[in-house]
Amino acid sequence: MKLTRRSVVATALASPLILRRARAADMRARIDVNTENTRGAIDRKIYGNFIEHLGRCIDGGVFQEGSRLADATGYRRDVLEAVQGLDVSLLRWPGGNFSSNYHWMDGIGPRDARPPRLEMAWGTVESNRFGTHEFLDYAALLKTEPYICANLGTGTWTEAQQWVEYCNSAEDTAITRMRRQNGRKDPWKVTYWGLGNEMDGPWQMGHRSAEDYGKFALEAAKLMRWTDPGVKLIAAGSSNYASGVDWSLWNRTVVEHLQNYIDYLAIHLYVGNENDDFGEFLASSRLMDDKIEITAKVIDGALAGRTDGKKVHIAFDEYNVWYRARGDGQRGRRILEERYNLEDALVIATFLNSLVNHADVVKIANMAQLVNVIAPIFTSDEGLFLQTIYYPLQLFAKNAHGDSLALAVDVPSYDTKQWRDVPYLDVSGAIDGNTLVLNVVNRHKDEAIDTTIAIEDKTFAGAVSVTEVNGPDIKAGNDFGKTEVRAQSRTVNARGNTAQHSFPPHSFTQLKVQLS
Ligand code: AHR
């Protein structure tokens, strides 16, 4: 057997060490675990989510005044319960593209007195009935850390600064008096603030060049920080991957301008299966790996020469599969309502593997979005169902904690039109005390992969909880009253330092076991 080190330089930074057999005919694999071999703490904020004033995400999703399913505030109780099942660690709001023309003062005060405004990002009218209080109270109900994206498109420095003051200041000022009049005595203390959204995109209201954004965001950042030194600021990195666009140059310029004020640089990625090519689609996480690894290097480059140990981490604050409900027609109320199938859920599991495998540099991530709009939860006026992508996100959020493990994986691989040597098993691992979690996607459409799991420095202590996300075929999906794809758990036993597991075709499996 010829063992070859994976040769893609960019992935050597953080992906599992792939020891791949040169085109093995048999579908066998081996995962070697050494619990001392870690690559950094997994920040729970990588299991975040996102709600935008877009389609039925908030209005008709999270919030539906007058619905028999809503509570007195207007929050949908059934949605809240489904969201609670995701252990959302960080919730981003109000956009997205929406944030670039959102004037937060429109969304405070008595609801009936709030002004309806033309909403130009997605072509509707914004009622402003869900605003700062509704969002921050919702985050509190979820026990989730809020993350507010300020308007650095059509907004002003003062507007961004005063939003921080309204939310965070305990001083007696004209702004905090408004908060008190609106029923909130104590500040909420919002830590995470975005300095605009996708400001490199010509589609963005208030789009700017990197230089202009860097200078503008710097003044906003100063005022926000001087209002509350505890805030953590997230700069808008590039998400414009159109050919001919130098997205790395945008990132470098922005970090150079903002380095003294920011803690994170935000990047986004959406993928799709436009050509109906399962193998290619399942390799999409290579794009995420690349975006992360290249951005991490660019940040390092921008900070080179500093001697104070300053860190700027990556906030992957939008990611998902999004291609069916996309394009120019997506304006109005029922938009971006992507219906997911099994293969989409597997891609999401590989994305989550990528985030865990880059735990040293990615410290925030938000699936976009939470309800109805490219989302794991889908509602009607009568109820909801859980989309396929709900399950991998739930399993990671609930279980993949502690330190990210650098694993050695020996597995057959395949080529696609775009990528070479894509391992059939995509793997990440987490160790939290003595709890080991392995997350494994079998990218093979037809074959199971018999795998030896070997622990170098410890032994299995007994019961292994095996949870599998799978379905009758790769196109299977869920709907109201129909659940074809779900997570199913069972327990098996393992003793000593090796175990065998056969990963079924087109599946995501999470193994959770105590070691001793
Ligand atoms: O999540 C949908 C949209 O995708 C967001 O509004 C925007 O930031 C991105 O382009």
- From the candidates 318, 338, 343, 468, give the one annotated as an active-site residue: 318
Q: What is the mean pLDDT of the chain?
A: 95
Amino acid identity for residue 132 in this structure: T
Ligand 1 centroid–CA 96 distance in Å is 5
Each residue's pLDDT, cut to its tens digit, for the chain (516 residues) gives 223 323 222 233 455 555 555 444 588 999 999 999 999 999 999 999 999 999 999 999 999 999 999 999 999 999 999 999 999 999 999 999 999 999 999 999 999 999 999 999 999 999 999 999 999 999 999 999 999 999 999 999 999 999 999 999 999 999 999 999 999 999 999 999 999 999 999 999 999 999 999 999 999 999 999 999 999 999 999 998 888 889 999 999 999 999 999 999 999 999 999 999 999 999 999 999 999 999 999 999 999 999 999 999 999 999 999 999 998 888 999 999 999 999 999 999 999 999 999 999 999 999 999 999 999 999 999 999 999 999 999 999 999 999 999 999 999 999 999 999 999 999 999 999 999 999 999 999 999 999 999 999 999 998 999 999 999 999 999 999 999 999 999 999 999 999 999 999 999 999 999 999
Cα–Cα–Cα angle for 150, 51, 217, nearest 5°? 15
Cα-to-chain-centroid distance, residue 385: 21
pLDDT for position 24? 46
pLDDT for position 130? 98
Ligand 1 closest atom vs CA 369: 1
The tens digit of pLDDT for each residue in 78-113 reads 999 999 999 999 999 999 999 999 999 999 999 999
- pTM, to two decimals: 0.95
Amino acid identity for residue 437 in this structure: V
Concerning whether 318 is annotated as a catalytic residue, the answer is: yes
Name the residue at shortest CA distance from atom 3 of ligand 1: 96
Mind giving me the DSSP string for 315-373? EEEEEEE--SS-STT--SSS-S-PPPBHHHHHHHHHHHHHHHHTTTTEEEEEEE-SBSS
Q: Is 197 a pocket residue for ligand 1 (Cβ < 6 Å)?
A: yes
For 150, half-sphere exposure in the C-beta direction (CA atoms, 13 angstrom radius) is 31
Q: Is 52 a pocket residue for ligand 1 (Cβ < 6 Å)?
A: yes
pLDDT for position 462? 87
- Separation between Cα atoms, residue 9 and residue 508, nearest integer Å: 27
- Separation between Cα atoms, residue 235 and residue 217, nearest integer Å: 8
The three-class DSSP label of residue 8 is coil
Ligand 1 closest atom vs CA 95: 6
